[in-house]
Amino acid sequence: MLIGDVIRKYRKQVGITQEEMAKRLGVTTPAVNKWENNNTQPDIALLAPIARLLGITTDTLLSFRDSLSSEEIAAFVKKLDQDLETREYAEVFAEVKKTLEEYPNCDQLIWQAAVILQARRNMNPIPGKEKYDDVIFGWLERCLQSEDANIRKEAAGSLFYAYLQKEEYEKAHSYLSYLAVDSPERKRKEAVIFSRTGKKEEAYRAYEELLFTNYQFISLVLNDLRILYMEDGNRGMAWKLVDVQNQAAKVFEMGRYNEVSTGLDVASWEKDVPKTAEIMREILAAVDHISDFSQSPLYQHMAFKDMDPGFTDRLHKNLIEGMHDESYSYMRGNEFWEETLKKGLDSPLRSEDTLASDSNQTS
């Protein structure tokens, strides 16, 4: 950080204007403005007076101690953990406070020190531990201004839980603004506040929406991963991922259709006639159950739109029309396939038809 940036930062922190600073130092306002814009630098004789006026050391003013390397921070954290195991908390805290004052611009160091001291303060029976709140929270608040997005997010999370523990729910909620609006973590934290403030319905709904949307995300990831393995010709992993995706649909109670609708592309890729017929038969039989998830107790507090009465018939028809695609040419001559194509478009093959077909073929 350039000296002009340091002067501007700490001048604003102490709450004085450029004009006030100029008067106290016996220089002109344009001179201070030029310092802060890094056009010129203050005379060496003014460094100590500037530092005293801003309440910082000359080292900080000159950015001699602007930051630490990741290795130095790791060593500091390791020593801090060890010291907290063997020494008095108050003593260690005072040393850390002094160190952070020497590195006021090292956000990573400040954040990690604050998190460790806060965690240890919560876990151990420390006398008068509340007296450390202002300092630790102040460090975390400072981290909210970090240029590092991850530090801002983590600091906000730490402050959220700190005020949640103090049952200051409105204050805790204010830190959620540092998380993306559509962030699952933000929604989960909102649900926690709902449950703590007597808004049980809102809490149930928020948690259920998280389950539902996360299943959708998991399903997409499994699907993309399966395609990647297929591109590499890995049949074993492709079928493994089909099984995992089907099991996920079952665990999340997404209904029979979602439990059986994967795997058709793998069977088609392998040109496996019996497997393709088996999967298509199960899909057609499960069309009427495509919205069964809306009846699951897992999502009982969610409101789902009523499905268009004709949707399942259209889906059934589209599935059968898709069976005409040239990619399924290897299925020609298969009894189930030919029979379905023959009667399916004129008279939709519903669950009872496919079950009867299964029974006939078994017998």
Residue ending a domain, choose from 147, 163, 179 = 179
Is residue 185 situated within a structural domain? no
Length of the chain: 363
**Residue type at 189 in one-letter notation:** K
Q: Is 208 in the same domain as 280? A: yes
In which residue are the tokens 């079928």 written?
239
Would you state the pLDDT for residue 344? 67
Residue 302 contacts residue 212 (beta carbons within 8 Å)? yes
- Domain hosting residue 293, numbered range: 203-362
Q: Cα(44)–Cα(56) distance, rounded to whole angstroms? A: 16
Q: What is the pTM of this model?
A: 0.72
**Residue type at 53 in one-letter notation:** L
- Closest among 105, 94, 103, 102 to 142, alpha carbons compared: 105
Other beta carbons within 10 Å of 27: 16
Would you state the pLDDT for residue 1? 59
Q: Is 340 in the same domain as 213? A: yes
Would you state the pLDDT for residue 356? 43
Q: Is 90 in the same domain as 228? A: no
- Closest among 179, 182, 141, 185 to 163, alpha carbons compared: 141
Is residue 198 situated within a structural domain? no
Is residue 184 situated within a structural domain? no
Is residue 36 situated within a structural domain? yes
- Closest among 241, 279, 275, 273 to 260, alpha carbons compared: 279
SS3 67: coil
Q: At what angle do helices 47-54 and 18-25 cross, to 10 degrees?
A: 130
Would you state the pLDDT for residue 358? 46
Q: Is 174 in the same domain as 27? A: no
Give tens-digit pLDDT for 114-149.
999 999 888 877 777 788 888 999 999 999 999 899
Q: Cα(244)–Cα(215) distance, rounded to whole angstroms? A: 12
Task: Take residue 28 and report the two structure tokens written for it.
Answer: 């002109």
Is residue 93 situated within a structural domain? yes
Using a 10 angstrom Cβ sphere, with 0-12 exposed, 13-18 middle and 19 or more buried, the burial of residue 150 is exposed
Q: Is 346 in the same domain as 314? A: yes
The domain that holds 106 is classified in CATH as: 1.25.40
Q: Is 357 in the same domain as 255? A: yes
Using a 10 angstrom Cβ sphere, with 0-12 exposed, 13-18 middle and 19 or more buried, the burial of residue 261 is buried
**Residue type at 39 in one-letter notation:** N
Give tens-digit pLDDT for 189-246.
999 999 999 999 999 999 999 999 999 999 999 999 999 999 999 999 999 999 999 9
Q: Is 151 in the same domain as 51? A: no
For the chain, how many structural domains are there in total? 3
Contacts of 223 (CB under 8 A, 6+ apart): 245, 262
Q: How far is CA 351 from CA 72, 98, 284, in A?
A: 67, 74, 7
Where the chain has pLDDT below 70, the residues are 1, 63-67, 344-363
Q: Is 212 in the same domain as 167? A: no
Q: Is 83 in the same domain as 105? A: yes
Would you state the pLDDT for residue 129? 77
Q: Is 35 in the same domain as 81? A: no
In which residue are the tokens 């530090």 written?
151
Q: Is 22 in the same domain as 117? A: no
Alpha helices, H only, 166-290: 169-174, 184-196, 200-231, 235-251, 256-260, 264-270, 273-286
Is residue 197 situated within a structural domain? no
Residue ending a domain, choose from 44, 61, 78 = 61
Is residue 313 situated within a structural domain? yes
Is residue 186 situated within a structural domain? no
